[in-house]
Structure 1
Amino acid sequence: MTMKPVLSFQPEQLDSRRLSSPLGSPVQAEVYFPRLTVPFCGHIKGGMRPGKKILIMGIVGMNPESFDIRLTCGDSEDTAADVAIEMKAEFSDKQLLRNACVSGEWGEEESAIPYFPFIADQPFRVEILCEHPRFRVFVDGHQLFDFYHRVELLSAIDTVKINGDLQLTKLG
């Protein structure tokens, strides 16, 4: 019994199909995946809780100075909304500073990280996993640091704010 090949591809055929792909050019891809605007402020449905994860994907700016990501209790700029975590990437000294503000008082800043993960003009993926005692933060799939909760009522943490030298491509 002789078996016939189910599919056979000619290299030219494969290449021509790629060229006709509707997402083949960056201009067309921009239409399907519009950039999120910075500064960004968005609501976290139901607030934070253990097991919930925030995903932030983007591209660092060409000549970045800094950018920051905040998880806050409310989105008001007038009243001092509690800041559960603020992460500020400083490119001049390659630091990722973290802090929290509870009842109008900023706590002790944390800065220790094993390496600085952000590179100018390069994509990144930040995942903030909420666990019972802490936020666990991953960048590009690698755990970078833990930040222990200073805001006690996790469900009150209902806003994400992003600002600085970056483009956002996806939030989830």
Structure 2
Amino acid sequence: MAGSVADSDAAVKLDDGHLNNSLGSPVQADVYFPRLIVPFCGHIKGGMRPGKKVLVMGIVDLNPESLTCGDSEDPPADVAIELKAVFTDRQLLRNSCISGERGEEQSAIPYFPFIPDQPFRVEILCEHPRFRVFVDGHQLFDFYHRIQTLSAIDTIKINGDLQITKLG
């Protein structure tokens, strides 16, 4: 998370500050996202702060290689947390990138939560010292903040072999 801001022309914003979800009904949103097309880039209104949660729901493709959330670009932008699901190794890798320097990668998880051709729900909860990451309602791991200014974390990027069905 962090980096460039998504193309705001693609967002469907109503006059009362609500967004239309995929079914066309209004939903209150702290996080404004344009169309849910992968690769995806969206703006987190006001940045992250303790108590704020980012929800990503989707369906893994039938023959996935990887799913990435928060991937960095060239030149590298600051990335508070990068999640990369590697299906061949059944790993969920986590890292950050600050001032062009990648941190120490973490990979330990109790189980690999993603199944090809199946839906998933990832919640990233921002707490004061860390992100808590839940997959399908189960806490999978904690990732301690490496970027100290949480409000600077204002962008989410998603790439890989998946369809996004909901963001919030």
User: TM-score band (shorter)?
Assistant: 0.7 to 0.9
Tell whether 2:126 aligns with 1:145. no
- Structure 1 residue 80 displacement after superposition: 2.7
| Count of residues in correspondence between the two structures | 137
Report what 2:68 is aligned to.
68
The runs of at least 4 aligned residues of structure 1 exceeding 3 Å deviation read none
Aligned CA RMSD, in angstroms, stands at 1.6
Tell whether 2:120 aligns with 1:124. yes
Cα displacement string for residues 45-92 of structure 1 (whole angstroms, at most 9, x for unaligned residues): 0000000000000000010010101188xxxx4543200000000000
Counterparts of 1:152 and 1:46, CA distance in 2: 15
Report what 1:59 is aligned to.
59
SS in 1 for 2:36: coil
Greater per-residue strand proportion: 2
Tell whether 2:23 aligns with 1:32. yes
Tell whether 2:89 aligns with 1:93. yes
SS in 1 for 2:70: strand
Name the % identity.
Answer: 78
Report what 1:8 is aligned to.
none
Tell whether 2:89 aligns with 1:84. no
- Radius of gyration: which is bigger? 1
Q: TM-score, normalised by structure 1?
A: 0.76
Report what 1:14 is aligned to.
none
List alignment gaps of at least 5 residues for structure 1.
1-30
Matched to 2:64, the amino acid is P
Greater per-residue helix proportion: 1
- Structure 1 residue 113 displacement after superposition: 0.2
- Structure 1 residue 32 displacement after superposition: 3.3
SS in 2 for 1:155: helix
Q: TM-score, normalised by structure 2?
A: 0.78
- CA 78–117 in structure 1, closer or farther in 2 if over 3 Å, else same: closer
Tell whether 2:156 aligns with 1:160. yes
Counterparts of 2:161 and 2:122, CA distance in 1: 15
